[in-house]
């Protein structure tokens, strides 16, 4: 590794000395993850202001032997943007690159730089009657680049899909310092490989996203928000099926919250559920540009009562009441944190296997953490469940991870539905992933980043064993 002073001088020539951070105080916010559970020691933090500056930083780091950790809003939940403790990694923050380059309300696209805050992008779209339908709790700090790098999900996946489904074009700085520009405002483009897909969800390990063209949608004129409690999970899934049939494409959210989660919210977030408890709660939201939506939602609710699935329910009468209902869902994680330590599992399983998964996971968990409390919530409509174990001092976290993930795999699911692998889930992914997946991941990484310059230790181990990757596992 080259002397650090040479690196700092080279980076200062590219971005200006004031944008190369080295003091402990300046570096600290970039070196610790959102959960405060992972802290690294970077060589420095560099804050370029343009794509050309990002490219210059990459070239210098490559020449001088320092690896790079790209970082957006640092709001992730898998420590995917945190350096290690070697002092040999440069945190490349994109938070100065915030420009809205263009906004086309007719073609319904918006071109933005990677450091633009998601909430700001959504607000800009809203001003012309359009919407970027990526809705996540961290929208006030998450950046577009980070959202793309993690293929963020959120509350509207059921209707609009993941970030991948809303990304039309990318500008990416590659590991050799060159720039791949594919900022196309097109819905249809079958000319060659759709290479942008390689970088969406790659967590900065294959290239650094510096700008993007995102697809917008019209802002719905009507919305209805309903909170229901149901007798059991089967009733929740049956209600989802009925809602899809009767409301169809207007259904934008179908959130599942356990009674235990509501109890945590009431105890630790000082919020009160407006309805009587069942085994599970459902937060249903539908939006449309057409009238008649409320009548359709109320008909579904009435059918749920008549069949016996629904214990209690309320339909919001105003925007304020809708926000109060959503506040219950949005405070689940905060209430969990106030309660104490927990082990989070961001998993997905097919809806038809959800009940069997929960039963098997509970039995498996009992073998390694008898009596452990659970905080279960998630996006039932797309099969994404946050299976969070409330920890006690004597719990073996590694053993808990293994049994939960083994049950996920048994039921055809994924151990990372929307948060990414980051640092936290790398070892588990290597343990449970099919050999073909690992070989393809290794091949792609080697092709695009042969020197392991970009975000080492995320998704794949820092040092790849190519022979193992090709023959057995990584």
b/e 21-33 (16+ beta carbons within 10 angstroms → b): beeeeebeebbbb
pLDDT tens track, the chain, 474 positions: 458 999 999 999 999 999 999 999 999 999 988 777 788 899 999 999 999 999 999 999 999 999 999 999 888 877 888 999 899 999 999 999 999 999 999 999 999 999 999 999 999 999 999 999 999 888 999 999 999 999 998 888 999 999 999 999 999 999 999 999 999 999 999 999 999 999 999 999 999 999 999 999 999 999 999 999 999 999 999 999 999 999 988 999 999 999 999 999 999 999 999 999 999 999 999 999 888 889 998 999 999 999 999 999 999 999 999 999 999 998 998 899 899 999 999 999 999 999 999 999 999 999 999 989 999 999 999 999 999 999 999 999 999 999 999 999 999 999 999 888 988 899 999 999 999 999 999 999 999 999 999 999 999 887 653 333 434 444
Domain harbouring 151, CATH code: 3.30.465.10
Nearest-angstrom CA–CA distance, 64 and 4: 9
- The answer to whether residues 361 and 320 belong to one domain is no
- The answer to whether residues 34 and 56 belong to one domain is yes
- The answer to whether residues 193 and 118 belong to one domain is yes
Question: Would you say 300 and 224 are in contact if contact means Cβ atoms under 8 Å apart?
Answer: no
Q: Is 400 helix (H, G, I), strand (E, B) or coil?
A: helix
Domain that holds residue 463: 433-471
- The answer to whether residues 226 and 311 belong to one domain is yes
Question: Would you say 116 and 94 are in contact if contact means Cβ atoms under 8 Å apart?
Answer: no
> How many domains does the chain contain in total?
5
- The answer to whether residues 322 and 357 belong to one domain is no
The first and second tokens of residue 355, run together, are 């009940």
- The answer to whether residues 69 and 158 belong to one domain is no
Domain harbouring 379, CATH code: 3.30.70.2740
Distances (CA, A) of 223 to 141, 252, 294, 319: 26, 10, 8, 9
The first and second tokens of residue 269, run together, are 């977030």
Question: Would you say 352 and 411 are in contact if contact means Cβ atoms under 8 Å apart?
Answer: no
Torsion angles phi and psi, residue 161, rounded to 5 = 90, 180
- The answer to whether residues 464 and 367 belong to one domain is no
Give the chain's length: 474
The first and second tokens of residue 103, run together, are 């906004």
Cα torsion through 284, 287, 293, 299, rounded to 10: -10
How far does the chain reach from its first CA to its final CA, in angstroms?
26
DSSP letter assigned to residue 380 = G
Of the residues 164, 187, 218, the one at which a domain ends: 218
- The answer to whether residues 346 and 399 belong to one domain is yes
Question: Would you say 441 and 405 are in contact if contact means Cβ atoms under 8 Å apart?
Answer: no
pTM: 0.89
- The answer to whether residues 238 and 325 belong to one domain is yes
The first and second tokens of residue 53, run together, are 């500056």
Question: Would you say 171 and 182 are in contact if contact means Cβ atoms under 8 Å apart?
Answer: yes
- The answer to whether residues 250 and 314 belong to one domain is yes
Say if residue 356 is exposed, middle or buried (CB neighbours under 10 Å; 0-12, 13-18, 19+): middle
- The answer to whether residues 274 and 187 belong to one domain is no
Distances (CA, A) of 368 to 118, 219, 386, 395: 40, 48, 19, 8
Question: Would you say 81 and 69 are in contact if contact means Cβ atoms under 8 Å apart?
Answer: yes
Of the residues 315, 333, 351, the one at which a domain ends: 333
Cα torsion through 248, 250, 256, 259, rounded to 10: -100
Domain harbouring 268, CATH code: 3.30.70.2190
Of the residues 56, 72, 93, the one at which a domain ends: 93
Distances (CA, A) of 416 to 213, 346, 397, 401, 420: 26, 5, 17, 12, 6
- The answer to whether residues 54 and 87 belong to one domain is yes
């Amino acid at each position: 590794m080259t002397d650090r002073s040479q690196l700092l001088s080279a980076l200062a020539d590219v971005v200006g000395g004031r944008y190369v951070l080295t003091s402990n105080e300046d570096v600290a916010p970039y070196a610790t993850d959102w959960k405060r559970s992972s802290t690294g020691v970077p060589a420095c933090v560099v804050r370029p202001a343009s794509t050309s500056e990002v490219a210059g930083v990459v070239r210098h780091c490559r020449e001088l032997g320092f690896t790079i950790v790209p970082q957006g809003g640092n709001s992730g939940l898998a420590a995917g943007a945190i350096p290690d403790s070697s002092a040999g990694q440069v945190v490349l923050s994109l938070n100065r690159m915030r420009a809205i380059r263009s906004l086309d309300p007719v073609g319904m696209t918006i071109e933005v730089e990677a450091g633009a805050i998601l909430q700001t992008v959504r607000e800009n779209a809203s001003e012309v009657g359009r919407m970027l339908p990526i809705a996540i709790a961290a929208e006030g700090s998450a950046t577009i680049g980070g959202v793309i790098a993690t293929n963020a999900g959120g509350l509207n996946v059921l209707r609009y899909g993941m970030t991948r489904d809303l990304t039309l074009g990318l500008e990416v700085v590659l590991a050799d310092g060159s720039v791949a520009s594919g900022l196309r405002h097109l819905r249809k483009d079958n000319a060659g490989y759709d290479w942008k897909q390689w970088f969406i969800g790659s967590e900065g390990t294959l290239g650094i996203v510096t700008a993007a063209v995102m697809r917008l949608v019209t802002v719905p004129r009507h919305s209805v928000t309903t909170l229901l409690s149901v007798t059991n999970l089967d009733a929740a899934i049956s209600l989802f099926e009925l809602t899809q049939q009767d409301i169809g494409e207007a259904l934008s959210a179908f959130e599942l919250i356990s009674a235990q989660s509501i109890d945590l919210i009431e105890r630790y977030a000082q919020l009160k559920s407006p309805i009587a408890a069942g085994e599970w709660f459902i937060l249903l939201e539908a939006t449309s540009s057409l009238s008649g939506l409320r009548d359709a939602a109320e008909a579904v609710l009435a059918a749920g009562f008549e069949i016996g699935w629904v214990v209690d329910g309320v339909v919001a009468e105003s925007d304020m009441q809708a926000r109060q209902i959503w506040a219950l869902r949005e405070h689940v994680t905060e209430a969990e944190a106030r309660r104490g330590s927990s082990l989070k599992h961001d998993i997905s399983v097919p809806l038809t296997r959800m009940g069997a998964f929960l039963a098997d996971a509970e039995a498996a968990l009992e073998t390694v953490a008898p009596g452990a409390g659970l905080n279960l919530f998630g996006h039932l409509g797309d099969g994404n469940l946050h299976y969070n174990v409330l920890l006690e001092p004597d719990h073996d976290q590694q053993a808990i991870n293994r049994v939960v993930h083994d049950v996920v795999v048994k039921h055809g699911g994924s151990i990372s539905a929307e948060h990414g692998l980051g640092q936290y889930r790398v070892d588990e992914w290597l343990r449970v992933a099919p050999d073909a997946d690992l070989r393809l991941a290794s091949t792609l990484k080697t092709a695009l980043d042969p020197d392991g310059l970009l975000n080492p230790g995320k998704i794949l181990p820092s040092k790849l064993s190519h022979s193992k990757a090709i023959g057995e596992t990584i």
